[in-house]
Structure formats: structure tokens, C-alpha cells
Structure 1
Amino acid sequence: MRKSPTQARATQTVDAILEAATQILQSDGEERLTTNRIAERAGVSIGSLYQYFADKEAIVEAIAERERSKIVATIVKSLSEVEAADSESAVREVVRTLVGAFARRRRARRIVVMMMLRRWQNAPDKGADEVAQFLVSAAARGKSANARVMTPVAAFVLTRAMVGAIRAAVLENSPYLESQEFEDELVRLAILFEKN
């Protein structure tokens, strides 16, 4: 973002821009996403849009960052509410949150994911890093005698495997994404990973 909103009205303007861009992506696709259409749909002037965003890619990046922050916050909150000894419930909460985040507005989310992959193919996944760090600390608190130690490397592999499967389901527009079986398989993967 060019300029961070500091007042409530500026925050509302940025929110309106991001929501308008998401709606356009969902209804019309990436090819119809322009800064003029975004400004028109958001009810702001093009000058106001450019105060905060350099181009449509910056808007998509802001959408992705906002979603990442929401997902991580939801996962951290849900994990903190689950009993440490009940690892299956904790894993299910993480999986359900991740799948749920990607299942809503599927077309818009797929486009955002594809645009981000094109733009930052080699960039680290900050959201997965945050979840991995939380898994390491949560596992240390609720460690049982027969559980595998959740090292940073183990958490890295587990989170990337889970996020990779979800990302593939989004990009391939797979019908599995919203199925109970898909959630169950991801939970089984994580539980097997913890026990080995």
C-alpha cells in the first residue's frame, strides 16, 4: 500500500476498495479487474484509490495479506481454545479453518492465489510460518509420551503439505475442497505425521 489509512474514514475507503475488487474477481474474473472498475464499484474516485494502491496488483496483494492475517488469527484463536491433550480436535480446527477460508468465494480466491503464485513463486509463506511456529509451541505444551516432537522442520513440512493440498484443490477447482472426506484426509495426514 502507498499510504496506510489512519482515520476511520480512510479505513472504510480501503475496505470498500478491497471488497469491490473481491466482488469483481468473483463475478467477472481477473480479465475484467481494472482500477477504474474497482473505484466505480467501491464508490470512490480513482484518485482516492491511487492514494492507497499503486495498481490492481497492489490491491490483490492487500486482499491476500488481509485474508492471510484473518486465517492465522482464526487458527491461533481456535488452537488456544482446544485442550492441549486433544490433538485430533486441534488438527481438525486448523484444517477446518484453512479449508473454510479457501472454500468461500472460490472463484475470487482462486484468482488471488494464482496471481500471488505468479508474482511471488519463490517468496516464503508467512502465514504458514506463523501457523508452524504456533504448532511447535502448542505441541511442546501438550506433549504426550508417545507423541513425536514437533520440531520447526516437522512443523514446516506438515503445514506446507496441508496448505499445498488445499491450494491445489483451489487452483484445480476440485470438488473435493468442500467435502468431509477431504477434511478427514488432511486430519489423518497430520495425525499420522505427529505419531511417526
Structure 2
Amino acid sequence: MSSIDERPDFSTIADLFLLHGSMQSPAFLDGRLCASLALNELSASGWLEEVCLGLGVEQPRDRESGESLLEWRRLTLETLADSSLNYEPLLPDELYSLAERAQGLREWTLGFLEVIEDAGSEPREGWSAPLREAIDDLTALAAMDTDIDDSAENENDLFALTEHARMAAMLLYTEQRPGQPQVEAGEPTQH
């Protein structure tokens, strides 16, 4: 079984957040997690601290919750580092309305960009032009209108925007962590 199959889904993490009394979307923290792992190798204890701060609690409510939160971090790191480029942002799935899914993508993007902004200009100095462009595009994505109707056209647009965010995340990781994963130059091919 691949890591992508093991990775918790949005609803599982949202339910875990509810157990801690938080209605917050996991998407924002997943965006932060992804960028943090790419930029500065976020430690397990640092991640638990960040999640608890986001949930407004001092610590996970029980051992199982703490283990689930740590597993979320571990599997995110694994999928980012995997040469098959199968990282997926933790976003609401097709059980949610298109507007909710768009809001999830917007929140993920805001979390991702917040970490990049907090890192300052130093990491950006070595970035390739495609990465700079991808991050600039995410800034526009963070400002998108999420009040959209359920339609095939909007669904296709949202899919394309999600794919762009996913590729930006993997590009950031591969440029910040050369050799992890081993990937060929250029875009991965779609099969």
C-alpha cells in the first residue's frame, strides 16, 4: 500500500479537530505543514505544538489523537519526498459542495503562503523562475472567490487550480530539498 492510500482524509482530520472542540478546517494547517516541511524540516514536536496552538488546546486530548496528528505529518513528508510525486493537499473531497471545496483550497493556500511569507526573502533567492511563478500564482489563488455554483465547468476549474497548488508544493519541496526525491527535470507526465 502506498503512502497516499494511508494518508488521512480531510473528514478524518476534521473529526479529530472536532474532538478537540475546534471547527477549524484542516486545510489551513495542512498548507502550513507542507510549506514548513519543505522549508525547514518541521520536527514532530514542533508540529504537535503548532496543531495544538491552532486548535486552542495545550496538548492532544489523548495518546491516540497525538499519534494521529503525528501520522498526518509523517505521511505528508513521505508523499512530498516520494519520487512518484503523489502528494495531495488535504482538502474537502467530493462529499462537499464545490464552494466548500474551493474554500478548502483557498484555506490551504493561505496556510502555505503564510509559512513562505514568515520565512522571509532568504529561501526565495535560490528559487527557479517556475517556482517563483507558481508561488505568485498561489497569491492570486488565495484571493479567489469561493462562492461558486456546482457546475462541470467550475469543477474542472477547481481541479486545475488544485493541481496547480499541488505542483507548486512539490516544486517547493524538490527545490528546497535537492535529491529528495530523485526526480527527472521537467514536469511529470500524466497517464
Q: Same fold (TM over 0.5)?
A: no
Q: TM-score range by the shorter chain?
A: 0.3 to 0.5
What TM-score does the superposition give when structure 2 sets the normalisation length?
A: 0.34
Quick one: higher RCO (CA 8 Å, sep 6+), 1 or 2?
2
TM-score, structure 1 normalization: 0.33
